[in-house]
């Protein structure tokens, strides 16, 4: 059984065959980075094909079971139908996420807006919400950078969210989030409106080639610290990079060494620059179509 759209199995099988042919050439591993990219793509495609094939087989078995019209199998058939419905809904959802990099891991940043402690508390509420959402979907979350609030909450956080279609699922969360409530930080219990900005990028640094001129970078090193300033490290292992042409600023202090933090920060910057270029190209195409 084959399916079109995002689950064109024949197309995926043909692509797997072509990539496997590339991986069998004698000098395939001479370019390790390119080779690893191809092997990851093969693994991803195999997983997608296997999911569809397994669902197709279970669906065919369920149809045969229903055609037997055996009352003793009714309960088992009902349970299997419910499971299959969930799997088919998930496959249908994936076909909607067919844009470039929808299947990629995601980088997610949250920034508290104006409003002091109230906004910083709201930003951390959003962070907890996204972490719980990721746990529900069995995604791995890694906090790359965290700036605590002055009294409560946080000023900003940068997180890596790893899992199938993480970017596609999170993309709709990009933008400004607003909270209106009676503030627990206001002795008069007045109503406050708080804002926090959520940014999302595809984590594609390992899959793309972007050259960044070192002269375009302002690099600062500082001592990493935990929430509230606890556990300040003696060595300057944290890194902050400012890309002068775009104004992008990336900080990373989660890793143990300066080298690791530098690598993580550069990967985030590459993903941001790549996504910016993609937006410019899409806007240019839209403008041409509108003429």
Q: What is the average per-residue pLDDT within 89-98? A: 75
Clarify whether residues 91 and 50 are in a common domain: yes
Residue 7's pLDDT band (cuts 50, 70, 90) = low
Clarify whether residues 156 and 225 are in a common domain: no
The residue from 96, 120, 146 where one domain ends is: 96
107 and 271 Cβ atoms separated by less than 8 Å: yes
44: domain CATH number? 1.20.58.410
- Reported as a single tens digit per residue, the pLDDT across 51-80 is 888 888 888 888 887 777 777 777 788 888
Clarify whether residues 220 and 197 are in a common domain: no
Residue 216's pLDDT band (cuts 50, 70, 90) = very high
Is the torsion defined by CA of 76, 79, 83, 86 positive or negative?
positive
- What is the 3-class SS of the chain, one letter each residue? CCECHHHEHHHHHHHHHHHHHHHCCCCHHHCHHHHHHHHHHHHHHHHHHHHHHHHHHHHHHHHHHHHHCCHHHHHHHHHHHHHHHHHHHHHHHHHHCCCCCCCCCEEEEEEECCCCHHHHHHHHHHHHHHHHHHHHCCCEEEEEEEEECCCCCEEEEEEEEECCCHHHHHHHHCEEEEEEEECCCCCCCCEEEEEEEEEEEECCCCCCCCCCCHHHEEEEEECCCCHHHCCCCCCCCEEEEEECCCCEEEEECCCCCHHHHHHHHHHHHHHHHHHHHHHHHHHHHHHHHHC
250: domain CATH number? 3.30.160.20
The residue from 96, 121, 156 where one domain ends is: 96
Clarify whether residues 79 and 112 are in a common domain: no
- Reported as a single tens digit per residue, the pLDDT across 201-211 is 999 877 777 88
Clarify whether residues 19 and 39 are in a common domain: yes
Indicate whether 101 belongs to any domain. no
Clarify whether residues 178 and 240 are in a common domain: no
Query: What's the mean pLDDT when you consider all of the chain?
Result: 84
Quick check: 231 pLDDT over 60? no
Residue 228's pLDDT band (cuts 50, 70, 90) = very low
Clarify whether residues 29 and 48 are in a common domain: yes
- Reported as a single tens digit per residue, the pLDDT across 141-161 is 999 999 998 888 999 999 999
pLDDT of residue 290: 62
Indicate whether 65 belongs to any domain. yes
Clarify whether residues 188 and 231 are in a common domain: no
Clarify whether residues 145 and 220 are in a common domain: no
Quick check: 178 pLDDT over 90? yes
Quick check: 120 pLDDT over 90? yes
Q: What is the average per-residue pLDDT within 91-112? A: 84
Indicate whether 207 belongs to any domain. no
The residue from 202, 231, 248 where one domain ends is: 202
Quick check: 127 pLDDT over 60? yes
Indicate whether 16 belongs to any domain. yes
Clarify whether residues 198 and 226 are in a common domain: no
Which range of 24-28, 195-199, 223-227 scores highest in mean pLDDT? It is 195-199
Clarify whether residues 194 and 231 are in a common domain: no
Q: How many domains does the chain have?
A: 3
Clarify whether residues 12 and 86 are in a common domain: yes
Indicate whether 83 belongs to any domain. yes
Structural domain boundaries enclosing 257: 214-290
């Amino acid at each position: 059984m084959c399916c079109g759209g995002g689950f064109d199995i024949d197309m995926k099988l043909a692509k797997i065959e072509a990539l496997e042919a590339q991986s069998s050439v004698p000098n395939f591993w001479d370019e390790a980075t390119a080779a690893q990219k191809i092997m990851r793509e093969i693994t991803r495609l195999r997983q997608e094909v296997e999911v569809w094939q397994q669902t197709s087989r279970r669906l065919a078995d369920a149809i045969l079971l229903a055609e037997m019209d055996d009352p003793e199998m009714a309960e088992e058939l009902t349970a299997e139908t419910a499971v299959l419905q969930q799997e088919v809904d998930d496959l249908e959802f994936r076909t909607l996420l067919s844009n470039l990099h929808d299947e990629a891991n995601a980088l997610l940043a949250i920034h508290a807006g104006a409003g002091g402690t109230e906004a910083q508390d709201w930003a951390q509420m959003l962070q907890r919400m996204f972490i719980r959402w990721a746990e529900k979907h069995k995604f791995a979350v890694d906090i790359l950078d965290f700036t605590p609030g002055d009294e409560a909450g946080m000023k900003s956080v940068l997180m890596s969210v790893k899992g199938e279609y993480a970017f596609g699922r999170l993309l709709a969360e990009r933008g400004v989030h607003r909270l209106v409530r009676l503030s627990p930080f206001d002795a008069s219990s007045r109503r406050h409106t708080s804002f926090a900005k959520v940014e999302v990028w595809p984590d594609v640094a390992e899959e793309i080639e972007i050259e960044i001129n070192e002269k375009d970078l302002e690099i600062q090193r500082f001592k990493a610290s935990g929430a509230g300033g606890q556990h300040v490290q003696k060595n300057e292992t944290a890194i902050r990079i400012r890309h002068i042409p775009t104004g992008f600023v990336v900080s990373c202090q989660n890793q143990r060494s300066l080298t690791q933090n530098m690598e993580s920060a550069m990967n985030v910057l590459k993903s941001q620059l790549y996504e910016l270029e993609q937006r410019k190209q899409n806007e240019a195409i839209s403008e041409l179509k509108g003429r």
